[in-house]
Amino acid sequence: MEPMLVEESELALEDIAATLLAESNGLAKRMHPILRESVGTLVRSMNCYYSNLIEGHDTHPRDIDRALANDFSNEPRKRNLQHEALAHIHVQRLIDEGRDPPVWPATSAYACWLHEEFCSRLPDELLWVESPATGERLPVIPGRLRERDVQVGRHIPPPHGDLPRFLARFDQAYGARSSRIRKIQAVGAVHHRFLWIHPFLDGNGRVARLMSHALLKRLEVGTSLWSVARGLAREDVRYKQLLMGADNPREGDRDGRGNLTQRGLIAFARFFLERAVDQVGFMGGLMEPEALDRRIEVHIEEEVRAKRLPRGSFTVLREAVLAGEVERSRVPLLTDYEERAARKITSALVQRGMLVGESSRAPLRLGLPVDAVERWFPRLYPVDAGGRP
């Protein structure tokens, strides 16, 4: 599977990596730390939606939202996909909160942890795959390397007996000491070569994207505020074409010195970093203070006119955006209402999920229910014919 890394002379990748580093750092500085936690919760749901969508599992954002509230569908397939979404969100939360293993993310040990943590939370119905050759149903065991040879489309991954050697080389290549910029450049290569090895019977795609998220975070580029999975899913056909292109054998003396194409690996690594830069820019645009403030104001004014929210609601929400949280005792002062009327505003916003708190007396921070997300963060999810995400 050589080459494992892109050539050091590939200056275009270095420029993109430097851009990603600068813009990601700028995004994190735009908002209050408490608001970042709320947005991070939203982005975890979005990331799981897009990562699962790449696998052909279309779990509606509203169904994910209901699952987070422990409200599951009576329809078995939809319920299973809700549990799958929760498993993905759980693992990413561990990564975002620094509760993942201390080992370097681009290693087989970390991959096994991701696979076990994710798959152990799946319903039994999702822990089986069918052999295309024999029709036999094979169990997927969380955290265990495959014990069968497989074929993925046209690609034939290494035989199961050779997995330890290939994974040892993977660990050696991507655990090597190098500059931060060089490691950022290599994230796409890590992503591809892991999928090329295909170490698990199933779940490799989700593990690869979670590994990429964890790797970017350890490199202090990735945060809980943006998701490369959205960029990959929006160009799903190209994503898969470039993955397959990097599977190809070397094309002559000018295509690197390994068995596989250097040109194909560079093309995928570049695509991966460009999608990351694009998603940082997308979230940065959504979080631009004046535009966000205006979108919230327009939406809340409509809700007030429709008598679904009391007057004064926007003032309280605006405080949550700017200050990160709102003390309940400050609502009368913010709205210039008597305490009883102010409590009605607080109660209405909590009931709608637009404000959330740890307890009935705790400060309130911005909540992001799906209905509000549609208006406050447009284009976060794809829009169907009904105008809903």
**CA dihedral sign, ordered 349, 352, 358, 360:** positive
115 carries an active-site annotation: no
Element (DSSP H or E) covering residue 137: strand 137-139
Residues forming the annotated binding site for ATP?
A: 152-155, 202-209
Q: How many CA atoms lie within 13 A of 161 on its CB side?
A: 0
Cα four-point dihedral sign 295, 299, 300, 301:
positive
Per the DSSP assignment, residues forming a β-bridge with 260 are 249
Please tell me the distance from the alpha carbon of residue 352 to that of residue 125, in angstroms, as a whole number.
34
**Binding site feature residues:** 152-155, 202-209
Of the candidates 168, 189, 251, 235, the residue with the CA atom closest to the CA atom of residue 10: 189
Spatial separation of the C-alpha atoms in residues 231 and 227, rounded to whole Å: 7
- Where is 365: in which H helix or E strand? strand 365-366
Specify whether the CB–CB gap between 219 and 95 falls below 8 A: no
Kindly name the residue from 57, 191, 198, 213 that is annotated as catalytic.
Answer: 198
DSSP alpha helices (H): ranges in 75-107?
76-96
Helix (H) / strand (E) containing 340: helix 339-351
Can you state the angle between helices 289-305 and 262-286, rounded to 10 degrees? 50
Q: Are 111 and 101 in contact (CB under 8 A)?
A: no
Residues taking part in catalysis: 198
